[in-house]
């Protein structure tokens, strides 16, 4: 894994870290909604003991940059640069693999279905603060787990059977159906009660 930090970005980030005047303060690249069209990444302060145990460490001049192992494939070949503008400067993080790569037609069915759910179905669910995650494919059925606003939502079953399943079976005729494997009884913030 490789992350390139330009000298200008190193200088800028070093100044930002120093201004906080905290011993052993570093930065971690955080990833949100990795592998989806709405994926994003950002920098977060962290002390060394707060970094994930399995994180990769990229030592810079005055600080380290940590990347959690689970985010490795999405941040491969990432770069951080700092561009001067008329009004100051702009920190830019470029991660070409952040939104994931579409699996090949001969990739395992799980990978292809997972990508389809993330790219084709989750953006609609995100409009209601929800998301779905593929948990397993067994006996021709794809099992998902709802989260966010879909977790405990009174319309989850209708969303599953009338919207999601129709699209999924059209894209993957080898599947028999889509099943909800979510325990909806312990929802914290359902979109519809």
Residue pLDDT tens, the chain, 193 long: 789 999 999 999 999 999 999 999 999 999 988 877 678 899 999 999 999 999 999 999 999 999 999 899 899 999 999 988 777 888 999 998 888 778 899 999 999 999 888 878 877 777 667 778 899 999 999 998 877 766 665 555 666 666 788 899 999 999 999 888 776 566 555 444 5
Q: CA-CA distance, 138 to 141, in Å (whole number)?
A: 5
Nearest 5°: the CA angle 151, 131, 113 is 120
Please give the backbone phi and psi of residue 91, each rounded to the nearest 5 degrees, phi first: -85, 130
Helix and strand numbers (H, E) in the chain are 6, 10
Beta strands across the sheet bearing 78-85: 3-5, 78-85, 88-94
Q: What is the pLDDT at residue 87?
A: 78
Span 3-94 CATH architecture: Sandwich (2.60)
Q: Which residue, 107, 120, 135, is CA-closest to 168?
A: 120
Q: What is the pLDDT at residue 86?
A: 76
DSSP state for residue 188 in the 8-state scheme: S
Q: Which residue, 43, 38, 36, 74, is CA-closest to 60?
A: 43
Domain regions of the chain by residue span:
3-94, 109-186
With tokens 């028999």, the residue in question is 176
DSSP helix, strand, coil percent of the chain (3-state; round to 5): 30, 35, 35
**Are 82 and 11 spatial neighbours (Cβ–Cβ below 8 Å)?**
yes
- The set of residues, in sequence order, having a beta carbon less than 8 Å from that of 166 and lying 6+ positions away, is none
**Are 161 and 126 spatial neighbours (Cβ–Cβ below 8 Å)?**
no
Domain 109-186 has CATH 3.40.630.30: no
Q: Does 3-94 match 109-186 in CATH topology? A: no
**Are 26 and 46 spatial neighbours (Cβ–Cβ below 8 Å)?**
yes
Q: Which residue, 53, 72, 56, 61, is CA-closest to 5?
A: 61
Q: CA-CA distance, 148 to 96, in Å (whole number)?
A: 27
């Amino acid at each position: 894994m490789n992350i390139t930090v330009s000298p200008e970005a190193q200088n800028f980030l070093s100044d930002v870290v120093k201004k906080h005047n905290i011993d052993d303060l570093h930065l971690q690249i955080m990833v949100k909604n990795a592998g989806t069209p709405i994926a994003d990444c950002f920098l977060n302060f962290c002390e060394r003991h707060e970094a994930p145990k399995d994180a990769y460490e990229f030592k810079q001049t005055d600080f380290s940059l940590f990347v959690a192992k689970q985010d490795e494939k999405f941040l491969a070949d990432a770069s951080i640069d700092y561009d001067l503008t008329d009004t100051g400067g702009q920190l830019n993080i470029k991660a070409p693999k952040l939104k994931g790569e579409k699996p090949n037609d001969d990739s395992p069915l799980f990978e292809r279905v997972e990508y389809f759910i993330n790219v084709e179905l989750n953006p609609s669910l995100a409009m209601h603060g929800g998301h779905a995650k593929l948990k397993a494919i067994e006996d021709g059925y794809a099992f998902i787990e709802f989260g966010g606003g879909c977790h405990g939502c009174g319309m989850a079953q209708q969303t599953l059977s009338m919207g999601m399943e129709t699209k999924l079976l059209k894209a993957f005729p080898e599947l028999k159906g889509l099943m909800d494997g979510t325990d909806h009884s312990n929802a914290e913030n359902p979109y519809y009660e």
